[in-house]
Amino acid sequence: MRKTLLLLGLLLSSGFSLSGRAQGVHLRWQMPGAVPGRAALRRVRLPLIAPDSLAALAAVRDVIFALRADSYLTASADSIRWPMADSVRVALHLGPRLRWATVRATDDVPDGLLARAGFRERLLRNQALRPAELVRLQQAILRECEDHGYPFAQVRLDSVRWFGTPADQLSAVLRLERGPLIVMDSVLVEGNATISRGFLSRYLQIFPGQPYSQGRLAAAARLLRQVPYLQSTGAPRVRFAADRARITFFLADRRANQFDGLVGVLPVNNPAPGAKRVQVTGEVNLALRNIKGGGKSLNLNWRKADANSTALDAGYAHPGLLGSPLELIGTFNLLRQANQFVTTRPRLEFAYPTARRGRVSFFAEFRASRLLSDSSFRGLTALPLNLDSRYPNYGLTYAFNALDDPFFPRRGWNLSATGAAGNKSIRRNPDVPEALYATVRARTSQLTGGLRAERYTRTGRSSTLLTRLRADGIYNADRLFDNDLFRLGGLATLRGFDEWQFFVSSYAVATAEYRVFTGDDAYVFLFADQGYYRRDRTPPASAARPRDWPGGAGLGVTFSTGAGVFQFVYAVGRATGQAPSLTRGKIHFGITGRF
């Protein structure tokens, strides 16, 4: 048998091929004597034909390895013969299927460590001995040690003893040598990154004196990839001295501060005689990140979606609140709809970043909407479409970011889900007849929720497929008004339509976008958006529930210039009452400057 195995090894290692004998080689498997292991042979699925002789020998090798992985550690090919040019006969030797008799850990191995690694002595007793499972168990124990201050731990089997007739049972002792306890010493930065070491330590959750954790170090590398103003220039370096670990991160500044403007030129549908046939919309963004090297950020956004709507968003984020991992976030949103209403939404949020690219946050928001004075309200015989209201609400958000780049991702996931609840109260407007309020409840429960899911799949060296789902919904126990609803349409939500064209109570938009990169920060793309919405603003007793399936498609280009990143998008939309038309497509273009 040893000669046969030696011949097999020489054939495989030297590249000697008998493929010239025939185009196809049939394999005939033989098991001399009684074969109690036929079930094992069925599990490995013996191949019956191979393209050539070299492939046939490789198939024999794979069968032997599969049998050994299935607890037949002494399995081998006793003989390999070629009776004909297109046929090979293989005589298999299985041997006994080895089993654990007992395997226990020494007393110096903590029970908690073994439990976290998945070790259960009673579950192994009298079970098949699979080397791969033994290796996985040892690796799990070592990972637990590496994550709890023992990076130099070693694990091995001791007092190994075979017994039984035949000798197919194994008794062993699992011995762990943990080595010295290693604690974190300090976090260092090499490179031109303007970043506070204290903030970096809090953000990565690596603090002096805590037990060394290899898992936390790996998570730190992932967390750094999500920071838009930092760029890793090398793998982290760990140096051990006097039972302490000193970690050095190689970081460089990345231009992430942003100032950009966006201009939209939209044709006016069915313009009045003498009115303009196009309308110009605009947007201005200012984002300051990593203020004074402490990770703080400030954002301002002004939008004029159409002739009637203006919005302002402002936000400030303060990570490492009072030396903790918590991040304090304050935002403010203002929406003014011509001379109809003004809605404000201040929000206070506390966020906690998890070690595995996640983020959990709790927020409190006070949404207030008031009608702008209009003397025509006094002659109304029914409630207007907008009402004064207040909606204090509280909610939770979970986000998970596994993108490989915060600005121009090519692969990875980005997920977020949010939910909020509160009580909405209707405030009486002095210009609206008081009797009209009898048809609406003054105080109702209201729920809101949202979901974002993005996946970037690399389809080639320079191409990426983006698939995205975005959904939001609002539910009220009584009724909704126009100033309660979401705005749908435009470059940010549903391309091919006017900005904020649809007033909706719930919607979902699915997107497929194919990008071909021509540089690190330049690409051309084709996209298709398919949406669904419904508008539940009428009393529940009414059967009227407007809904539609709008969709849009188009193309665009993004590239870098000396002044910033330029983007041009052309999109055509289709919805009920709006047929797709190339002459009525929407054009969006703008430039993003980073400094």
CATH code of the domain containing 328 = 2.40.160.50
Per-residue pLDDT band for 41 (boundaries 50, 70, 90) equals confident
Residue 63 has φ and ψ, to the nearest 5°, of -65, -45
Residue matched to tokens 């403007």 = 261
Q: Are 172 and 222 contained in the same domain?
A: no
Query: For 558, what's the count of Cα atoms within 13 Å in the CB-facing half-sphere?
Result: 16
3-state SS, residue 333: strand
Residues 401 and 375 grouped into a single domain: yes
- Residues 392, 539, single domain; the answer is yes
Contact in structure between 306 and 281 (CB atoms under 8 Å): yes
Same-domain status, 349 and 453:
yes
Residue 14's pLDDT is 35
Mean of the pLDDT values across residues 407-424? 94
Question: Residue 154 sits in which domain range?
Answer: 99-177
**Collapsing DSSP states into helix, strand and coil, what is residue 59?**
helix
Choose the final residue of a domain: 161, 177, 193: 177
On whether both 206 and 161 belong to a single domain, the answer is no
Residue type, 6: L
The reported pLDDT for the residue numbered 556 is 94
Buried b (16+ CB within 10 A) or exposed e, 573-587: bbbeebeeeeeebbe
Q: pLDDT: is 511 or 171 the higher one? A: 511
Which one of 30, 62, 93 terminates a domain? 93
Which contiguous run of DSSP H or E holds residue 140? helix 131-146
Q: Three-state DSSP class for 455?
A: strand
- pTM for the full predicted model: 0.71
Residue 187's CATH number = 3.10.20.310
Residues 556 and 441 in one domain: yes
List the structure tokens of 424: 């909405």
If one compares 264 and 196, the residue with the highest pLDDT of the two is 196
Please say whether the beta carbons of 177 and 157 come within 8 A: no
Distance, in Å, from the CA atom of 311 to the CA atom of 337, rounded to the nearest integer, reads 9
Q: Are residues 171 and 190 in the same domain?
A: no
Whether 442 and 348 share a structural domain: yes
* pLDDT at residue 348 greater than cutoff 80: yes
Statement: residue 164 has pLDDT above 80: no
How far apart CA 33 and CA 175 sit, in angstroms, is: 40
Residues 560 and 444 in one domain: yes
Q: How far apart are CA 28 and CA 21, in angstroms?
A: 17
Position 266 scores a pLDDT of 65
Identify the band that residue 544 occupies on the pLDDT scale cut at 50, 70 and 90: low
Indicate whether 297 and 204 sit together in one domain.
no
- Residues 411 and 545 grouped into a single domain: yes
Residue 113 belongs to what H/E stretch? helix 111-117
Strands 244-253 and 230-232: antiparallel
Question: How far is the C-alpha of 128 from the C-alpha of 575, rounded, in Å?
Answer: 63
Please check whether residues 412 and 527 belong to one and the same domain.
yes
pLDDT at 545 over 80: no
**Domain boundary residue among 158, 177, 196?**
177
Q: What is the number of structural domains in the chain?
A: 4
Report CA 541 to chain centroid distance, whole Å.
Answer: 41
User: Angle, nearest 10°, between helix axes 53-69 and 131-146?
Assistant: 70
Say if CB 135 and CB 117 are below 8 A apart. no
